[in-house]
Amino acid sequence: MKPHLSGMIPPVVSPLTAEHRPDTGAVERLAAHVVGGGATGVFVLGSCGEGPTLEPDVATAITRAYVDAVAGSVPVLAGIGEASTERAVRAAMEHEQAGVDVLVVMAPMYFNTETDDAVVRHVTAIAEATRLPLVVYNIPHLTHHPITPRALREVAAIDAVVALKESSGDWDTYSALAETARSTGLQVFQGAEALIARSLASGADGAVPGIANVVPGLAAELVRAGLAGDTVLAADLQRRLDDVCALYRSGFWLSSLKSALAELGITGPTAGRALAPLDGDGLSEVRRVLTVAGLIGAPA
């Protein structure tokens, strides 16, 4: 049976120890934080979850930890971001064995071949390798392979494909893909925080905002207001969410996000070794944003 996904599904970070190993205790705390805040699912191993860059054993351990932590209370979605279809098929089977409920499939990331047919072959092969439903994930600034309306229409005919997650951050791109998705019976999720209220007003089924790691309650309230058609409340909540998103400007966005979670005592700040940690000014800015949002107290 195809799941009915809707609401606010945070792309959770992958908590790591200082030695870059899985921090399962932090997984439990973050899962409780977002589910308690109103998340209707959790999405592991996306961009926020560093899925395309983690060591395979670390990715598997974190995925299993999230599956265990939510214990069936909400669906667990797992990202597949690989350079090749062969690696993606392997990852799909591993995710299924780990107990996830839905796979979120990005375009292949390395060879710049003819985009549409490559995407169709890629999604088809993954669908044939697993019994799990699939969400098609457009994030062209990272994959360098845009999923076009033509490709989406073709893969929508695959029975396993149930939804679109669109994270280009470009309204025209989103609109074209969302229209195609709705016309083919797929659900639609907005991945760009700044476009959540606008997308819900135009018929989106939900959102997948990274900032919900920090403020799940605010993000969930925004999505609920948008789905209920309360555009005035949604606009106000969008402005409040945008204010919290200012913490991304403190340095590299993922380092900023993990540093904010560390300030809240939920996870540590460790990210991939290639990602620059925040400097003193950046950390001060994260603290300022969290203080203004009422999430931590003002310094004495």
Q: Which positions are catalytic?
A: 137, 165
Tokens of 194: 């700044």
CA–CA separation, 55 vs 182, rounded Å? 36
> Was 232 annotated as part of a binding site?
no
Instruction: Centre a 10 Å sphere on the Cβ of residue 106 and count the other Cβ atoms it contains.
Output: 28
Task: Give CA 230 to chain center in angstroms.
Answer: 24
Q: Closest by alpha carbon to 133, among 1, 272, 299?
A: 1
Where are any strands of DSSP class E within the chain? Answer: 7-8, 42-44, 76-80, 102-106, 134-138, 161-166, 187-190, 206-207
Amino acid identity, position 275 = L
Helix axes 24-36, 216-227, angle to 10 degrees: 40
Q: Closest by alpha carbon to 69, among 108, 113, 22, 104?
A: 22
How large is the C-alpha radius of gyration of the chain?
18
Q: Are 234 and 200 within 8 A, CB to CB?
A: yes
215 φ/ψ angles, rounded to the nearest 5 degrees: -125, 65
Amino acid identity, position 274 = A
Annotated binding residues for pyruvate, written as ranges, equal 208
Task: List the binding residues.
Answer: 208
